[in-house]
C-alpha cells in the first residue's frame, strides 16, 4: 500500500481521521452539545460479518468472561457516545467492534507472561496477525492495531484516530467512571444487564497490578495511580 495513493474515503472508512487526543478539547469543540438519552442494546446495530463472527469466537475462547463482557460494554458505550455526542464522525462500526473485542487480548494470564512488551503493544500484534490470517483489509487491520496500541495513551497534546478516541472514552467510562455525562444511566443499566460486570473493577485492578509487578517498565505505569483510579470507580460500583 502506498499511502500517497489512497483515497480519502478509503482512509476515513476505518477511522483514519485525526481528532484531538485531549478528551477535554474534543468535548469543548462540539458545535451543538446534547444531553445523553437512554439507549438499549437493541437500538445499536451489531456488525455480523464473517470476520466479526470469527473474531468474536476467538475472543470468547481466549478471554475470561469478565474481559469479554467489558469488551462488549466498550462497544455499546462507544457507539452511544458517537451517536449522541459526535454524530458527524464517520467510521466503520465493524472496525470499532473488532477493536473492542481485541483491545484487552494482551491482558490474559498467558499473554501477560508470554512477552516483555506492555500488554496493549503485544495485544496489538496479536490482533494484527489474527486479522491478517482472516484476510481483513490492511487498512482495517492497521486501524485496529493503532487503536489497541494507543488505548491507554491519554494526554492533552497531539492527535488520535476517531476509533482511538472512542476507545478512550468508552474504556475510561467502564474502567474509571470518567465523563459519566456522556452515557445515560439508563444506557449503562441496559448494557450491564446484557453484559454483566461480575466484579470487573476488582478484576481489572488486579490485572494492572499484576502487569506492573511483572513488568515495572510497562505502559500502564504512565497513568499515575492507575490501580487506585480503577478501584475508585464510583459510577460503576452499584453494578459490580
Tens digit of each residue's pLDDT (9 = 90 or more) over 148-161: 999 999 999 999 99
| Average predicted confidence (pLDDT) for the chain | 95
pLDDT for res 2: 64
Report the alpha-carbon angle 228-232-237, nearest 5: 145
The model's confidence at residue 106, banded by pLDDT at 50, 70 and 90, is very high
Half-sphere exposure of 188 (CA within 13 A, CB side): 20
pLDDT for res 8: 64
Q: Is pLDDT above 80 for 10?
A: no
Unique residue bearing C-alpha cell 515495572: 216
Q: Is pLDDT above 90 for 16?
A: yes
Residue 66: CB atoms within 10 A of its CB come to 18
Q: Residue 136: is it exposed, middle or buried by C-beta count within 10 angstroms (0-12/13-18/19+)? A: buried
Q: SS3 of 160, please? A: strand
Q: Give Cβ neighbours of residue 12 (< 8 Å, ≥ 6 apart).
A: 90, 91
pLDDT in tens, 113-171: 999 999 999 999 999 999 999 999 999 999 999 999 999 999 999 999 999 999 999 99
The model's confidence at residue 9, banded by pLDDT at 50, 70 and 90, is low
What is the C-alpha end-to-end distance of the chain, expressed in Å? 45
CA separation for the pair 71, 167 (Å, rounded):
10
| Structural contact between residues 81 and 166, judged by C-beta atoms closer than 8 angstroms | yes
What's the rounded mean pLDDT across residues 75-84?
98
Q: In the chain, pLDDT over 90 holds for what percent of residues?
A: 92
| Cell numbers given for 107 | 491482558
CA separation for the pair 14, 207 (Å, rounded):
30
The model's confidence at residue 1, banded by pLDDT at 50, 70 and 90, is low
DSSP letter (8 states) at residue 135: T
The model's confidence at residue 31, banded by pLDDT at 50, 70 and 90, is confident
Amino acid at each position: 500500500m502506498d499511502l500517497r495513493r489512497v483515497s480519502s474515503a478509503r482512509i476515513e472508512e476505518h477511522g483514519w481521521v485525526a481528532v484531538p487526543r485531549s478528551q477535554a478539547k474534543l468535548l469543548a469543540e462540539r458545535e451543538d452539545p446534547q444531553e445523553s438519552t437512554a439507549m438499549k442494546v437493541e437500538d445499536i446495530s451489531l456488525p455480523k460479518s464473517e470476520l466479526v463472527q470469527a473474531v468474536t469466537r476467538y475472543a470468547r475462547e481466549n478471554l475470561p468472561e469478565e474481559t469479554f463482557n467489558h469488551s462488549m460494554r466498550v462497544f455499546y458505550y462507544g457507539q452511544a457516545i458517537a451517536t449522541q455526542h459526535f454524530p458527524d464522525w464517520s467510521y466503520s462500526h465493524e472496525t470499532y467492534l473488532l477493536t473492542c473485542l481485541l483491545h484487552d487480548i494482551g491482558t490474559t494470564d498467558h499473554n501477560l507472561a508470554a512477552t516483555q512488551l506492555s500488554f496493549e503493544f503485544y495485544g496489538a500484534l496479536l490482533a494484527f496477525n489474527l486479522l491478517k490470517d482472516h484476510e481483513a483489509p490492511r487498512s482495517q487491520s492497521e486501524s485496529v492495531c493503532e487503536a489497541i496500541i494507543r488505548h491507554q495513551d491519554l494526554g492533552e497534546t497531539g492527535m488520535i484516530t476517531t476509533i482511538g478516541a472512542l476507545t478512550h472514552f468508552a474504556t475510561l467510562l467502564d474502567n474509571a467512571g470518567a465523563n459519566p455525562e456522556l452515557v445515560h444511566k439508563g444506557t449503562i443499566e441496559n448494557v450491564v444487564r446484557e453484559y454483566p460486570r461480575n466484579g470487573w473493577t476488582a478484576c481489572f485492578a488486579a490485572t494492572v497490578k499484576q502487569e506492573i509487578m511483572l513488568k515495572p517498565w510497562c505502559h500502564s505505569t504512565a497513568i499515575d495511580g492507575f490501580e487506585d483510579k480503577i478501584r475508585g470507580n464510583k459510577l460503576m460500583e452499584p453494578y459490580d
